[in-house]
């Protein structure tokens, strides 16, 4: 009787210990993912600012096509060198929770898919966590949608800050992420904080799915050298694979991202265009500007995404390795 009670108590303690370890490991992965996103965003924010102004057309011109170099000069003339990092604070506030959720939930969804595909978590681990492309796409897409839904108001605030060039005398339309959220809610209603969420969710599934799916494909094509256990080897693999995944995803989903930015900016200060939803924005933009309008800033976005996603994946791999022994 006493032996049975002791065995039952041990099982409970084991389950509790496993649950605590799982929670701690998930927290570790979330922090690593958030920090990796912040590092990548800060490093590439100047390119992102130029890309955003190309997308939205809010650069003080007559609506004519403007080159990235012209936008670069215009930002510095109107806002100074720090203008290239306008919205970076909003970026970091948005990116930390978004990327912490993306990377940690992708690991979680991959674990679930691996369990179903291999039949057990042990077999999935023995296979070095490699999944078919379709399951890598599914896990990444679900992670993207989870993160986008959780952090969308911050993304909208960032879009309004970085998507507008300062007016005469350097006067800015919005002052920081909190101000943007409060002004938007006060002037347009709380619902305005979710303008453009439809294309965001529609885009998050294929974008993150293609990004993580491409990384998954490359990991299958170029298997890991198990004899090489160095941190630099693993990080370099993730840098290269992550950069390729980001470029592939940005090329395919860029038109949807342009529609999302246009919807986010409508109703904001200095913007006159109005759209009645996603498909109305598609129709009006195409009728007025043609297909080319959906690809404005695409080249600078591709140039930005390669280092951005490379740094994200490389930093995440490095940080998870450095912190693995503490949990």
Residues 224-254: pLDDT tens digits? 887 887 888 989 999 999 999 999 998 888 8
Nearest Cα to Cα of residue 241 among 213, 272, 204? 213
Tokens found for residue 48: 């992102």
Instruction: Measure the CA–CA gap between 218 and 279, rounded to whole angstroms.
Output: 35
Tokens found for residue 93: 């506030």
pLDDT higher than threshold 90 for residue 315: yes
Q: Residue 157 burial (CB < 10 Å; 0-12/13-18/19+)?
A: buried
Instruction: Measure the CA–CA gap between 249 and 239, rounded to whole angstroms.
Output: 15
Structure confidence at residue 10 (pLDDT): 66
Averaged pLDDT, 184-192:
87
pLDDT band at 271 (very low <50, low <70, confident <90, very high): low
Structure confidence at residue 104 (pLDDT): 92
Nearest Cα to Cα of residue 172 among 87, 61, 64? 87
pLDDT band at 23 (very low <50, low <70, confident <90, very high): confident
pLDDT band at 102 (very low <50, low <70, confident <90, very high): very high
pLDDT higher than threshold 60 for residue 61: no
Nearest Cα to Cα of residue 17 among 321, 327, 224? 327
Could you report the per-residue pLDDT of 193-209, keeping only the tens digit for each?
888 788 788 778 888 99
Instruction: Measure the CA–CA gap between 222 and 206, rounded to whole angstroms.
Output: 23
pLDDT higher than threshold 60 for residue 152: yes
Report the predicted TM-score, pTM, of the whole model to 2 decimal places. Answer: 0.71
Could you report the per-residue pLDDT of 3-22, keeping only the tens digit for each?
656 666 666 556 566 656 67
| CATH superfamily of this structure's domain 23-326 | Mitochondrial carrier domain (1.50.40.10)
Instruction: Measure the CA–CA gap between 185 and 164, rounded to whole angstroms.
Output: 18
Structure confidence at residue 324 (pLDDT): 83
């Amino acid at each position: 009787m006493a032996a049975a009670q002791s065995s039952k108590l041990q099982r409970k303690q084991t389950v509790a210990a496993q649950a605590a370890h799982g929670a701690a490991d998930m927290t570790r992965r979330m922090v690593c993912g958030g920090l990796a996103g912040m590092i990548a965003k800060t490093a590439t924010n100047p390119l992102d600012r130029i890309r955003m102004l190309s997308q939205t057309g809010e650069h003080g011109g007559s609506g004519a096509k403007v080159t990235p170099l012209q936008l670069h000069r215009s930002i510095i003339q109107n806002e100074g060198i720090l203008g290239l990092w306008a919205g970076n604070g909003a970026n970091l506030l948005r990116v930390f929770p978004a990327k912490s959720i993306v990377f940690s939930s992708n690991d979680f969804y991959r674990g679930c898919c691996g369990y179903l595909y291999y039949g057990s978590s042990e077999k999935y681990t023995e296979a070095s966590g490699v999944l078919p492309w379709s399951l890598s796409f599914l896990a990444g897409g679900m992670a993207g949608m989870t993160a986008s839904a959780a952090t969308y108001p911050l993304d909208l605030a960032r879009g309004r800050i970085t998507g507008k060039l300062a007016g005469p005398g350097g006067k800015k339309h919005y002052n920081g992420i909190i101000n943007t959220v409060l002004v938007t809610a006060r002037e347009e209603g709380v619902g305005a904080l979710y303008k453009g969420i439809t294309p965001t969710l529609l885009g998050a599934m294929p974008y993150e799915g293609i990004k993580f799916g491409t990384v998954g494909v490359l990991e299958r094509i170029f298997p890991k050298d198990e004899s090489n256990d160095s941190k630099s080897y693993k990080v370099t693999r993730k840098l290269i694979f992550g950069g390729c995944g980001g470029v592939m995803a940005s090329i395919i989903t860029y038109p949807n991202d342009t529609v999302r930015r246009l919807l986010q900016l409508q109703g904001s200060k200095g913007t006159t265009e109005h759209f009645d939803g996603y498909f109305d924005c598609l129709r009006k933009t195409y009728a007025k500007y043609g297909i080319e309008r959906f690809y404005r800033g695409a080249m600078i976005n591709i140039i930005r995404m390669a280092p951005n996603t490379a740094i994200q994946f490389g930093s995440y791999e490095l940080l998870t390795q450095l912190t693995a022994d503490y949990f």
